[in-house]
Structure 1
Amino acid sequence: MFPLYDTIPSRKKPYVVYFLIIINVVIFLYQQSLSRVSLLAFLYNYGLIPARFTNPRWEQLWQIRTGIELVTSKFFTFLSHMFLHGGWSHLIGNMWFLAVFGDNVEDALGHVRFALFYLAGGIFAALTHFAFNLTSTVPIVGASGAISAVMGAYYVLFPYSRIISFVPLFFLPFLVAIPAAFYLFVWFLMQVINGLFDNILRSGVAYWAHAGGFVFGILIGLWKRRSYYRW
């Protein structure tokens, strides 16, 4: 079920969503310009690596083995990782989901609050991934944790929306209007299930970051909805 668009138009231009898409694309194009060794250094410097926090010797051994020094602050990577991507499909998929769900959430929160919410959601998602992968030496990159937070807020704020989705059935394309609450609940459930199995399969996908970001978005959405009704 791939989302194409939703049925609730935003009242204002989602300038923050536009800016986030642009900056992610620009950084990815920069990644594409790097040599293989430089790209590896870039991803390990700015991607989030749990082992940098839990294994003091790992960073030193990494430098000896590869000759690449990790000069970026390991705490800064909780922020920087969400602006990197591992490939075109990774980038396009994330930016598409951000465009589908982000405009309405930005409309509800306002530009500045949405920007802060997006960054905080990405950090919370990274902390969730960190908690489940304390010794991992693989850098996580991508905006999906922050975008999961956007989807969590959408789940609370726009449950009666419809998500027009592409559903391949018997090799034929179908467009189906799926209730947003159902679509997003199923999506979240799949992240949790995949996260449980991924502890064994080790696919490299940060499913727990997705789940953590989604929960963060729900909490912010509930706060926003409560404050709205209070007025």
Structure 2
Amino acid sequence: MLLFCGGLSAQDTTATVPADTAGTSEPPKPRRIDTIPWERSGLRVGIDLLKPILSFVNNQPQGAEFSLDYEVKKNYFAVLEAGWQQLELDEVRYNYTTKGMFTRLGVDYNFMKRRQPLSGEMAFVGIRYGFSSFSLQADSVLLTEKYWGDLLTSVPKTTLQGHWAELLLGVKAEISENLFLGWTIRAGFLVAGGVTKREVVPIRVPGYGRTEKKPVFGFTYSVYYRF
């Protein structure tokens, strides 16, 4: 009786191990697939917070800048930026005034992986084409010359145009639902045929910066709302 039970137990133990699974390797792990679908983000409106602050700094222009961006293709955003600037300099050798409007058109590419379908957070690179129409005027311009002596002259009000290109690097982070903060670093390059070939070369072009610097580096810090 004991032998029968012992033999029955041994028979049950061997039956629980399938013979065809002996020595086989682990099944391959499934490949990870990004299952987050793409959904187009809404229109986003922004305003640069630095320009109003810099208006209180000496020899800095007064002005404002606004922006619109919209995702036209996955991770590609069409961008429109526009604003105005005015600068008044009261120096020993001249009085200088310039003011005008500017517009930039371009595209941003988001290289940050989405965490959810409608995520608007971005780490991006971009390009811009910039255009400005502005006026300048210089009064009480003092020119000194050893042979002819000092000469007091002026530059009448003149309307000019500026054209440039920009490369950008930036970030937009969501701090609340549909509310974003972001910054950009910009490098601007004047385009041939713009203000560089005028007889009167402006000190500063609205939306671009000082003309004697090549390239011109700029920084914006903005707040955005997405509809």
Question: Which structure carries more helix by proportion?
Answer: 1
Coarse TM-score class (shorter-chain normalised):
under 0.3
Larger Rg: 2
TM-score by length of 1: 0.22
Identify which of structures 1 and 2 has the higher relative contact order when contacts are C-alpha pairs closer than 8 Å and 6+ apart: 1
TM (norm. structure 2) is 0.22
